[in-house]
Amino acid sequence: MAWLVVRLAITVSLLYTASAVFEDQVGKFDWRQQFIGKVRFALFDTHSQASKKLLVATDKNVFASLNSRTGDLFWRHVDKTGPEGHIDALLMYGQDAVVVVGNGRLLRSWETTVGGLKWEAVLDTGSFQAAALVGVQDFVKYVAVLKKSAISLHDLSSGSQIWVENLPDSDTVQYQTIYSGGNGLVFVLGFVPNSHIVIVEYKIEDGEIMKKKSVEAAWMSSLENSCAVISSGILLCVDQITQSLYTLPLQSAEQTEMRQIHLQTLDLEVASGFPPVLTSTQPNPAQPPLAEFFLQLSPDHHILLQLKDGLIAPLRDFNPSYLAAFATSGEKTVAAVMSPKNDTACSINLFSADTGRRHLDTTIIYHMDPNGGKPNRLYVHAFLKKDDSVGYRVMVQTEDLTLTFLQQPGRVVWMREEALADVVTMEMVDLPLTGTQAELEGEFGKKADGLLPMVLKRLSSQFILLQAWMAHLWKLFYDARKPRSSVKNEVTIDTLSRDEFNLQKMMVMVTASGKLFGIDSKSGTILWKQYLENIQPNSIFKLIVQRTTAHFPHPPQCTLLIKDKDTGLGSLYVFNPIFGKKSHISVPALPRPVLQTLLLPVIDQDYAKVLLLIDDQYKVTAFPSTKNVLQQLQDTASSIFFYLVDTSQGKLSGFRLRMDLSTELIWEVVIPTEVQKIVAVKGKRANEHVHSQGRVMGDRSVLYKYLNPNLLAVITESTDTHQERSFVGIFLIDGVTGRIVHEAVQRKARGPVHFVHSENWVVYVYWNSKFRRNEFSVLELFEGAELYNSTVFSSLDRPHPPQVLQQSYIFPAPISTLEATLTEKGITSRHLLVGLPSGNILSLPKMFLDPRRPEVVSEQSREENLIPYAPEMPIRTEWFINYNQTVSRVRGIYTAPSGLESTCLVVAYGLDIYQTRVFPSKQFDVLKDDYDYVLISSVLFGLFFATMISKRLAEVKLLNRAWR
């Protein structure tokens, strides 16, 4: 019963705090974009002519079906991250797609129209080498999977294993390829480096080894790419060193040596240092491949060759050419070749595969993005037109992971920016003011003018406002007459301007591939993109806004620090976040590894904040480093402190800047690495405001918050992972003095720990390994009933340690990420945004994470609006701010204040990107969306007319009475 009462109390209290979405708000201020990642395999559904399906498997362990007409997702399946979900191969036959997952561990067949699994088979362990469809008598029935030491055959319709056989001599021979020509045999090709090739022939019915032979091939160092099976089962290899092609019929018994054909006899030569690549095509897995093949001799030289009567003859030389690919439609096989046209464009042409003749009117012009990368993959979708000629569309993937789908004569049907599937960090930048807005702002800036000019200025600005309003009304009127679909006003970089509540911002996103994006937060349109070449694959990025848009004529300025993970060497890239243009500011060279960056509130004469970079010799580099800045730094050096974390030695150290930009060590805290390791260190966000200094208690006294801006929260995990002895520790350390303000340990707990450090509280989540559940713990720091020094906070002068309150709760779901809402002035109550693995983002009122929640309800706690303590945290689907727009693998949530105090902008990123606004205390500063204008005006008019009429009636009555 008591429980019920508590529940009731909670629900009642929630009525006031819940920030839920209303159904009519769907899509009004939120949007989601779904991504798949870098495409590794792409297959067009050629089963039927009308099919729009494009199946893709990506490096993000995603298997998806795209609509090839629009580029939208039909469905998408996101597997586990890491090698266990890695997609090794994708094969397609008819309606079924067979996928090999997790280094050959799972074999899955998908029903591609529905997007559901047809069957799933678990294979034996062993590293995956190759997979192929196997056909018998023009009919594909099986799928063969080659592992390092075994080959297995599975039924295509049920997934059941037909047979599995060990490969002979698998410890010395590297088996790499499978081939089947539809004649009842499966060939497994392997080789011993620089010695010989091994060919094993299996019977399809029972897996019996029919034949096994080895052929001398002393030149061979790899089978993949340099070998292919063409024509009726002839193995073809190319070797760079001997500059030769080698052929060998797989089935012939007599030929025991590979036939060598010198490339010189064909007037060809492989570019030095380039491993030549052979590409063949087998349109139907139940039939032998074609006799035609591509040979790539250098990065931009392909040649189409044909094997005829044992002789190799060139059909067509494509020099220069970037990419070449085969495609089949019906009985016709074509080859598409991409060649450079000029500096900014490429042309793609279609050639018939058997003759090498060019098809007329098949040119597609592909315009390369000057800010993008080079094309590196070409996928061709060929189809038969009504007049039986071959038409085609192509999908081009570039280095910067842009997918472009083109059709003749070069129309871009759709485009996907798959780099956005891996956003590393982001910032939101205010949009610039328009001319009128700047005028108005300017009025308040100068105060030196006299009275009359001020009045005139005021009048003129009011006039400008009136003019703008009239124009706005006119536009509304004009738009209202047009059909709704055509009104959609396009957002371009030129029409960008700040809206009246600063709700629309520029999202600057940095992706792992080194591509930068500028995205309009209102619509999700990509306004600019910039690909940075030569970025190491696992670099660390840090994005810093040095100058906002507030300092007109100076353009806003962002700095991206790119740091190599292995060497630690960094470089700076400075750009304008609104237009994406690179700035021509001279950037300091960073010859030594960068350990820490520090953005100071000190600004130079151009209003750019100063960025300090600390290298591994504790030397400081300032950027920008003008004379003015250096002078300011010298003046303030004694009050500039920073900290460094060395996780390998478990050392936290604090430094102070000296006048000559060298540093001195002030404090050092060592957390012994034998017991625990530092997992994460977080300070507070610099742009955070705290509105109230304390909390009013039930007895009208005030409990003051301990608001230390220099406080660091350090999370440690035990090195011992045994569930009885593992623990999670938290240290609160003052970053200036090194004093440990508080420490707490959670026993029988382990990570991953997610935490938020803000105001006077730290919220952290850990896994309770004893009870196997996630738990939230909240730490709140208070100064007590009196403030020590209410005017200014100094870490050096704080004699009293803060009072620390802590409470823990059960959270009934796993957690992916954690962040807190942020508003302009910090008046609005805070919510925690919890990213769940299900893809939902939960907005949890901070009220629930209050260590002062009482176990026994008293009059005072009721007065304070404290919710009675309940061990389990509620999760309600109404609190999911992204309703059914789930964000897969949410990795980070970014929050930014808007111009409205009630509103916080939220961007969740992971595999998908979702942008929305949240109102933690509801929209208290603007009229609600559903404000009933009709009612209020009808009531007003009604009252007005009622007074008019009753006045008239009263007059008549008075008159009548007078006559009586």
Partner 1 sequence: MQYFKRLLDVYIALEALFALSWCFSDAEPGPVAGSQSNGDRFKIEGRAIVPGVKTQDWISTARIQVEGEEYVGFLKTDGSFAVNDVPSGSYVVEIVSPSFRFDPVRVDITSKGKMRARLVNYIKTSEVIRQPYPLQIRSSGPHTYFMKRETWGWTDFLMNPMVMMMVLPLLIIVLLPKVVNTNDPEMRKEMEQSMNMLNPNPELPDVSEFMTKLFSKGSSKSGGGNKGSRSVALKRR
The answer to whether 814 contacts partner 1 (rule: CB under 8 A) is yes
Cα four-point dihedral sign 400, 405, 411, 414 = negative
- In angstroms, the CA 900 to CA 918 distance is 11
Beta strands per DSSP E along 331-374? 332-340, 345-352, 364-367
- In angstroms, the CA 464 to CA 435 distance is 10
Closest approach of Cβ 934 to partner 1, in Å?
Answer: 9
The answer to whether 872 contacts partner 1 (rule: CB under 8 A) is yes
Dig out the tokens for 707 from the structure. 């608001």
Q: What is the DSSP letter of 830?
A: P
Residue 531 or residue 767: which is nearer to partner 1 going by CB? Answer: 767
User: DSSP letters along 155-204, please?
Assistant: ETTT--EEEEEEPTTTTT-EEEEEE--SBSEEEEEEEETTTEEEEEEEET
The answer to whether 141 contacts partner 1 (rule: CB under 8 A) is no
Pairing mode, if any, of strands 244-249 and 663-670? unpaired
Using the rule CB under 8 A, which residue among 886, 895, 903, 921 binds partner 1?
A: 886
The answer to whether 884 contacts partner 1 (rule: CB under 8 A) is yes
Determine phi and psi for 11, rounding to 5 degrees. -65, -40
The answer to whether 471 contacts partner 1 (rule: CB under 8 A) is no
Closest approach of Cβ 292 to partner 1, in Å?
Answer: 39
Dig out the tokens for 137 from the structure. 């008598």
Using the rule CB under 8 A, which residue among 212, 554, 773, 852 binds partner 1?
A: 773
Residues 57-86 that bind partner 1 (CB under 8 A): 74-75, 77-81, 84-85
Residue 397 or residue 816: which is nearer to partner 1 going by CB? Answer: 816
Which window, 149-157, 224-232, 555-563, 769-777, contacts partner 1 (CB under 8 A)?
Answer: 769-777
The closest alpha carbon to 533, from 366, 370, 420, 301, belongs to 370
Residue 64 or residue 608: which is nearer to partner 1 going by CB? Answer: 64
Which window, 160-168, 415-423, 757-765, 879-887, contacts partner 1 (CB under 8 A)?
Answer: 879-887
The answer to whether 94 contacts partner 1 (rule: CB under 8 A) is no
- In angstroms, the CA 577 to CA 555 distance is 9
Which window, 19-27, 361-369, 434-442, 776-784, contacts partner 1 (CB under 8 A)?
Answer: 19-27
Which window, 15-23, 199-207, 794-802, 852-860, contacts partner 1 (CB under 8 A)?
Answer: 15-23
Residue 228 or residue 815: which is nearer to partner 1 going by CB? Answer: 815
Closest approach of Cβ 875 to partner 1, in Å?
Answer: 11
The answer to whether 16 contacts partner 1 (rule: CB under 8 A) is no
Q: What is the DSSP letter of 880?
A: B
**Cα-based angle 608, 612, 617 (whole degrees, multiple of 5):** 160
Dig out the tokens for 641 from the structure. 């402190």
Residue 22 or residue 274: which is nearer to partner 1 going by CB? Answer: 22
Residue 518 or residue 839: which is nearer to partner 1 going by CB? Answer: 839
Segment holding 211, helix H or strand E: strand 209-216
Using the rule CB under 8 A, which residue among 932, 950, 952, 956 binds partner 1?
A: 932
The answer to whether 23 contacts partner 1 (rule: CB under 8 A) is yes
**Cα-based angle 273, 278, 279 (whole degrees, multiple of 5):** 140
Closest approach of Cβ 796 to partner 1, in Å?
Answer: 43
Segment holding 805, helix H or strand E: strand 803-811
The answer to whether 635 contacts partner 1 (rule: CB under 8 A) is no
Segment holding 416, helix H or strand E: strand 411-417
The SS3 call for residue 774 is strand
Residue that the structure tokens 């303030």 belong to: 636
Using the rule CB under 8 A, which residue among 676, 769, 861, 921 binds partner 1?
A: 769
Which residues have a Cβ under 8 Å from the Cβ of 24 and sit 6 or more positions away?
929, 930
Strand partners, 302: 296, 318
- In angstroms, the CA 207 to CA 151 distance is 9
The rounded Cα 194 to chain-centroid distance in angstroms is 44
Determine phi and psi for 780, rounding to 5 degrees. -125, 140
Using the rule CB under 8 A, which residue among 24, 490, 500, 674 binds partner 1?
A: 24
**Site map for partner 1, 728-767, x if CB under 8 A?**
----------------------x-----------------
The answer to whether 21 contacts partner 1 (rule: CB under 8 A) is yes
Residues touching partner 1: how many (CB under 8 A)?
59
How many other CB atoms are found less than 10 A from the CB of residue 30? 19
Q: Which residues of 62-73 are buried (b: 16+ CB within 10 A; e: fewer)?
A: bbbbbebeebeb
**Site map for partner 1, 98-137, x if CB under 8 A?**
----x--xx-x--x--xxxxxxx-x--x------------
The answer to whether 22 contacts partner 1 (rule: CB under 8 A) is yes
The answer to whether 29 contacts partner 1 (rule: CB under 8 A) is no
Using the rule CB under 8 A, which residue among 255, 460, 877, 938 binds partner 1?
A: 877
Closest approach of Cβ 816 to partner 1, in Å?
Answer: 8
The answer to whether 252 contacts partner 1 (rule: CB under 8 A) is no
Positions touching partner 1 (CB under 8 A) are 18, 20-24, 74-75, 77-81, 84-85, 102, 105-106, 108, 111, 114-120, 122, 125, 721-723, 726, 750, 769, 771-773, 810, 812, 814-816, 837-839, 871-872, 877-878, 880, 883-886, 889, 930, 932, 935
